């Protein structure tokens, strides 16, 4: 039987959300102070910095899956859940390949719009893979990304020179609020939620399988 109290999304994401917020603020502080670019890159997109909340997704995804599995919650078919999550993962790069074949510039606003729409489709597929984990990952994704959206608004309006307010190459000049909507709200609320759901889902499904095996052994 599922322990419903232990798997409520709000309860599961509370500590991860606080940790993620702390990393976001640390990242912002490091960029503003000009600390090591390897840890706190100010390049558009973050430059793969070692300090960043994207690295937390597989960790917390696995923890969510493990907790759900230990509580007796699991997908109806682990293989179906895995296949659907892999499909959700493939949707975005495949759409990028198709856009490239059609001659659409990879760093254009058109491509960003395509990615945003396709990301929503990927979110739906990832949610259907394992709805219980999907709800937790969506809640965590919102808790992680809404603070980033707010930080980006302040950084753009204040022209802080961080990765939070530097547009990717190819993005035309635009006013502050429009810039925030295009490089902040749109990708954070679509592409990054997709990333959280599919990457977290893959690690969560694997962790739940391990938890189930351990429970069966015990």
- Say how many C-beta atoms besides its own lie within 10 A of residue 207's C-beta: 22
Confidence category of residue 214, pLDDT binned at 50, 70, 90: low
Residue 218 confidence (pLDDT): 47
**Cα Rg for the chain, rounded, in angstroms?**
18
* Rounded CA separation 74/129 (Å): 11
Residue 1 confidence (pLDDT): 39
What predicted TM-score, i.e. pTM, was given to this entire model? 0.91
Of all residues in the chain, what percent carry a pLDDT higher than 70? 94
pLDDT tens per residue, range 100-113: 888 887 777 888 89
Helix axes 56-70, 191-217, angle to 10 degrees: 40
pLDDT tens per residue, range 46-77: 878 999 999 999 999 999 999 999 888 888 88
> 86 to each of 6, 28, 90, 164, how far by Cα in Å?
27, 32, 6, 29
DSSP 182: I
- Say how many C-beta atoms besides its own lie within 10 A of residue 114's C-beta: 18
* Rounded CA separation 66/33 (Å): 38
Of all residues in the chain, what percent carry a pLDDT higher than 90? 70
pLDDT tens per residue, range 131-144: 999 999 999 999 99
Residue 2 has pLDDT above 90, yes or no: no
The torsion angles phi and psi of 35, rounded to 5 degrees, stand at -70, 180
């Amino acid at each position: 039987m599922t322990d419903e109290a232990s798997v409520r999304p709000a309860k599961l994401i509370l500590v991860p959300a606080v940790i993620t917020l702390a990393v976001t603020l640390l990242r912002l502080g490091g960029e503003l102070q000009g600390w090591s670019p390897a840890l706190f890159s100010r390049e558009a997109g973050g430059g793969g910095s070692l300090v960043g909340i994207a690295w937390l997704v597989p960790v917390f995804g696995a923890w969510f899956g493990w907790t759900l599995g230990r509580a007796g919650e699991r997908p109806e078919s682990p293989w179906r859940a895995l296949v659907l999550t892999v499909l959700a993962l493939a949707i975005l790069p495949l759409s990028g390949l198709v856009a490239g074949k059609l001659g659409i510039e990879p760093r254009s606003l058109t491509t960003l719009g395509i990615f945003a729409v396709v990301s929503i489709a990927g979110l739906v597929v990832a949610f259907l893979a394992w709805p219980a984990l999907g709800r937790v990952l969506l809640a965590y994704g919102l808790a992680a990304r809404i603070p980033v959206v707010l930080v980006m608004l302040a950084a753009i309006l204040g022209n802080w020179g961080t990765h939070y307010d530097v547009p990717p190459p190819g993005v035309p000049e635009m006013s502050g609020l429009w810039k925030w909507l295009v490089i902040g709200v749109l990708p954070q609320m679509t592409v990054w939620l997709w990333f959280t759901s599919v990457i977290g889902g893959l690690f969560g499904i694997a962790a739940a399988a391990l938890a189930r095996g351990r429970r069966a052994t015990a």
